[in-house]
Amino acid sequence: AQSSVQLFGTVDLAARYVKNGDVKRTDLASNGNSTSRLGVRGVEDLGGGLKAGFWLEAAVNPDSGTADSSRFWGRRSTVSLMGDFGEVRLGRDKMPTQLAFEAYDVFGATGIADINTTYRVPSGITVAANSRADNAVQYFLPGNLNGVYGSLAVAAGEGVTGGKYMGGRLGWASGPVDVSVAYGQNEITDSDDFKRFVVGGSYDFQVVKVLANYQETKFQDQKDRHMTVGASVPFGVGEFKASYSKIDGRGGAIADRDADQFAIGYVHNLSKRTALYTTYAYIKNDGTANYVVADNGATSMTGRKSQGVDVGIRHSF
């Protein structure tokens, strides 16, 4: 059947100034507005409403020309069978809980304002299948359910700590509304799972779009909450954005680990594919929290402030 292989990607670079505690550094940084990547994908029409597709997507760090040294195609490497029933997707991919968490970040879960910068798995464990999972089978609902969407995923652990994952997301998007809820758990030991719950939504009032999400993670007695509200305001070919996150960590040996994250930004679209942007981000760490907007070589950030500003260009193809 008909072939349609597509080469696609993004190169995003910004001049960036980061001050973590007293340490200052100016550098050139990748991924301020969108994650730099290179991918190959295609869909084949098999007839009778059935389609097959593949997707290989590699991270690229254009500031230094590096690729992902541990997983070259680490962003996604999947094969799919699609039809009226929805989509069955096999391979490495982003998991439903992470998709739900990132969906309502007005900064697109990248750069110095990325809500992921203030999200960490509980201390003392590694969760291999946290944002993405190897060896996953994922089922997506079809697109004709009156705005209802969602997916269910399981990942085979294959002996890797936190690699065994099971989760799902259910949402509804219609007109200005988009809401979803997601839950997932990773096996850490035979008796203990890492659990993650996310609920979020957005409403587009045209003059302003507001977004909010709430996440709860749990492992043994460690219970962390991450709340974000954001807004974007279109302005001609541009867009103003602002976001605030509150991180609330409870339980565990280091109970006092709260933080506040605040960011504003402006994106100036030169075309659908190319944009200039600037972002300012700020994180205030309490107690033992040591989040940073970006690593700049500073150590011992416990309880200290981190802030940064960037000016960059994002080009997609």
> For binding to a copy of itself (CB under 8 A), which residues are involved?
1, 3, 5, 7-9, 11-15, 25-28, 38, 40, 42, 44, 46-47, 50, 52-54, 56, 60-67, 69-79, 81, 90-92, 134-137, 155-156, 158-159, 270-274, 297, 312-315, 317
Determine the distance from the C-alpha atom of residue 198 to the mean position of all C-alpha atoms in its chain, rounded to a whole number. Answer: 13
Handedness of CA 70, 31, 112, 103 (dihedral sign): negative
Question: Cα-flanking dihedrals φ and ψ of residue 124, to 5°?
Answer: 95, -10
Give min distance, CB of 165 to a copy of itself, in A: 12
Residue with Cβ nearer a copy of itself (29 or 103): 29
3-state helix, strand, coil in the chain (%, to 5): 5, 60, 35
The first and second tokens of residue 312, run together, are 């960059």
Q: For residue 55, with 0-12 CB atoms within 10 Å meaning exposed, 13-18 middle and 19 or more buried, which class applies?
A: buried
Residue with Cβ nearer a copy of itself (73 or 104): 73
Three-state SS at 221: coil
Amino acid at position 154, single letter: V
Residue with Cβ nearer a copy of itself (47 or 175): 47
Question: Do residues 113 and 242 lie in contact, with contact meaning Cβ atoms separated by under 8 Å?
Answer: no
Residue with Cβ nearer a copy of itself (90 or 141): 90
Give min distance, CB of 34 to a copy of itself, in A: 11
The first and second tokens of residue 203, run together, are 């409403």
Question: Do residues 214 and 180 lie in contact, with contact meaning Cβ atoms separated by under 8 Å?
Answer: no
Give min distance, CB of 137 to a copy of itself, in A: 7
Residue with Cβ nearer a copy of itself (189 or 274): 274
Give min distance, CB of 135 to a copy of itself, in A: 4
Give min distance, CB of 92 to a copy of itself, in A: 4
